[in-house]
Amino acid sequence: MPRYITDISEAATLLQEATRVLIVGSSGAGKTTLAREVAKRLRLTHISMDKEFFWLPDWVARGRSEQREMIAEAVMNDRWVMDGSNPSSFDLRLPRTNIVLWMRVPRLVCIYSVYRRAIKTYGQTREDMAVGCTEQLPDKEFLSYIWNFDRRHAPILERNFDLYGPHVPIFQVKSRREADRLLDLMRSAP
């Protein structure tokens, strides 16, 4: 059974001591934003799975075997914050993770965030994406992925947490305000 933490103070203390942090959740949940901030505060390397492993320039998908090789190599480093929910590499990532932050913000917040991001950066390549992967407006398939994330993908994440990291503490961040609170508590953690 996954090891969920419900006390935000405990999560902040564990996070403050962590050297390998995994941040998962739906697109638009704020994974990358939180990952960047945690990495900065803990002086860890931020690894965006989209940028580093999944995409080659101009939205060309990298092959699965090459992705796994690259992920396996990256997780062997001692100091990282990795954002990405793809469960196909949980067997590599979870055993090396000190704590998981699961961004579980409401799906309407995620959809709003994806649209806001698309409008703000349309036609540009975000810093957390591979070269030439320019921001597009969300299509029906992408919106469906977000809308159905909790129903379709959350059970897969939970099953993988249990299989590959039953000892790894998991804190579910349920709002942007809670993410900010976690970061504030990190600063004051012993």
Instruction: State residue 131's pLDDT score.
Output: 87
| DSSP string for residues in the chain | --EEE--HHHHHHHHHH-SEEEEEE-TTSSHHHHHHHHHHHHT-EEEEHIIIIIEEGGGEEPPHHHHHHHHHHHHTSSSEEEE---GGGHHHHGGG-SEEEEE---HHHHHHHHHHHHHHHBTS--TTS-TT--B----HHHHHHHHTIIIIIHHHHHHHHHHH-TTSEEEEE-SHHHHHHHHHHHHH--
Average pLDDT over residues 115-131: 89
Q: What confidence tens digit (pLDDT) does each residue in 153-188 have? A: 999 999 999 999 999 999 999 999 999 999 999 876
Query: CATH: 2.30.40.10, 1.10.940.10, 3.40.50.300, 3.50.50.60. Which one for 3-188?
Result: 3.40.50.300
Residue 189 has pLDDT above 60, yes or no: no
**Predicted local confidence at residue 134, as pLDDT:** 87
> In the chain, what are the domain boundaries?
3-188
pLDDT at 16: 95
Per-residue model confidence as pLDDT tens digits over 13-70: 999 999 999 999 999 999 999 999 999 999 999 999 999 999 998 889 999 999 999 9
Query: Average pLDDT in the 85-102 region?
Result: 96
